[in-house]
A and B are shown apart, each in its own frame.
Chain A
Amino acid sequence: MRNVITYLLMVRVDSASMSGLHLSRGWLSDACVLANQELVSGRSLVLCCATVIVLCATVIATMLTLHFTKDILPDSVNNDFQNINKFNEPQFMNLIEIIFQFLLEPKETERFMQQLSAFAGEHGMSPGPLKNLMKSVLMVPQGALKKSLTAQQVKEDLLTLGLNEDKAAHFSKQWGDHSAVLSRRAIGQTLMVNQLVDMEWKFGVTVGTSEIQKVGNISLQLKLVIRKGSSTENVYMELTLPQFYNFLHELERAKTSMDCFS
């Protein structure tokens, strides 16, 4: 009987993720056949197995409660962090420096790859596995940035993932030091439509026109530079004085409204 239950549980674990209790028809029919063979009720057997599955899932979920993600991570991530524990302190600090340099300038992927290759060369390891290792490590700061985690939470996550105390403390300290800059960068990346990039103005007096020889109007000319996709567009406009004062008044009201909400 124990073998029956073990067999059913192994099939269940292999076939699907533990996070759902989806019991496939195939599994249910296997359970019924085996129940008949063992002369027990099929329903009892299924209920028993389902209970065990739920308990296992709860235990696993509790063990791997992470702040930076709610997803179940593959086993390779745990292995990667165990491998990182094998680096000595100078190596680890060097690696962390490379990682944070990349996080602060994420467009510099070429430089990041070159630095990792150089690091691998210096310490006699192959670059391929090192890069895979870094992929796992980068998940933590990238997730932490999304969730705006504190240094303490990052440290807890690293310890949960199997990194040793010293390394986790160093990493989380670096995180704490750089988090303000990284957050500002992330916020700055927020999508903006027709973003206003620059404004220039000049004001002058219209001296004469083809209709009137002597005129004396003051007019203000504005040029707004707007980012549209990857290029910029200039928008030119002219305002009379009353329009300018009205424009300024409305902008001040908009600013007051913005200040209220922060």
Chain B
Amino acid sequence: MAAPFDEQFFVSLELLLKSPSKDALRELFSQSYRQVATEGGRLAQRTAEDLDIPFAQAQQLLQCLHSLAHHVVFRGLTRPQQIQDLFPASFHASLKNLITKILLELSPAWRSEAIQTHISLPQLKAFDWRVDMVTSSDSVSRMAVPSCLLSLQLGEDRVVVESSRETLDTMLDGLGRLRQQLALVAGK
């Protein structure tokens, strides 16, 4: 994931010196994190205009910002020194500190977003239940048997499942044991 940064990489980054303000720089980092540089046609155009640089250079700059941000999130760099060590000694010191500060500020939000959106099985978004009393059926004309309906919202799909009392008890039994195991793990 994290490629070693070459000299050209940092040359591109120094173009950021032309940025009009610190907020604009922060905004640029924020937007470039989400977009893959090759797609960011409009962003590259805007960047080229703001920094008064050719379009091609703007695209390359965005690519570098994207890579740097992802590298910081991937490695979990949380101390300023860790980020500053990525830069060569000859790099503009104030810019280096500013970039470090912005990355430290934005990376926790990026990290939680990555955790939320990483691949997984369909997430249980919502869960509803209903308890019915079955009073009659074609095989027994009078009865009083409870039945439970569970509605599970998984991503875009909704699944409705019916279970008898015994099934629900067994399910709760299993999940209760799971809760105990989790408590044990948490206790360790």
Query: A196 with B167: in contact, given A237-B123, A237-B124, A258-B146 (CB under 8 Å)?
Result: yes
What's the nearest-Cβ distance from chain A to residue B174, in Å? 6
Residues of A within 8 A of B139 (CB): 145-146, 186-187, 189-190
Point out the residues of chain A lying under 8 angstroms from B178, CB to CB: 201, 203, 220, 244
Name A241's contact: one of B73, B76, B145, B182 (CB within 8 Å): B182
- Chain B interface residue count, Cβ-Cβ cutoff 8 angstroms: 57
Contact pick for B75, options A213, A221, A246, CB 8 Å: A213
Measured between beta carbons, the chain B residues less than 8 angstroms from A237 are 121-124, 152, 154
Q: Tell me if A181 is interfacial: C-beta within 8 Å of chain B.
A: no
What residues of B have a CB within 8 angstroms of the CB of A209 in the complex?
Answer: 114-115, 118-119
Query: Which residues of chain B have C-beta atoms less than 8 A from A47's C-beta?
Result: none
Residue of B nearest to A251 (CB): B172
B119 → chain A closest CB, angstroms? 7
Interfacial chain B residues near A212, Cβ < 8 Å: 73-74, 76, 111, 114-115, 118
Residue B70 lies at the interface, judged by CB distance under 8 Å to chain A: yes
Contact B148 A254 (CB under 8 A): yes
In the complex, A213→B75 CA distance in Å? 6
Known: A190-B137, A195-B167, A254-B168. 10 other contacts (CB 8 A): A146-B140, A148-B141, A194-B160, A212-B111, A218-B185, A220-B178, A221-B121, A224-B161, A235-B152, A246-B127
Q: Return the 4 tightest CB-CB contacts between A and B, nearest first.
A: A211-B114, A238-B121, A196-B163, A258-B146
- A residues contacting B by CB (< 8 A) are 145-148, 183, 186-187, 189-197, 199, 201, 203, 206, 209-215, 217-221, 224, 226, 235-241, 243-248, 250-255, 257-258, 261-262
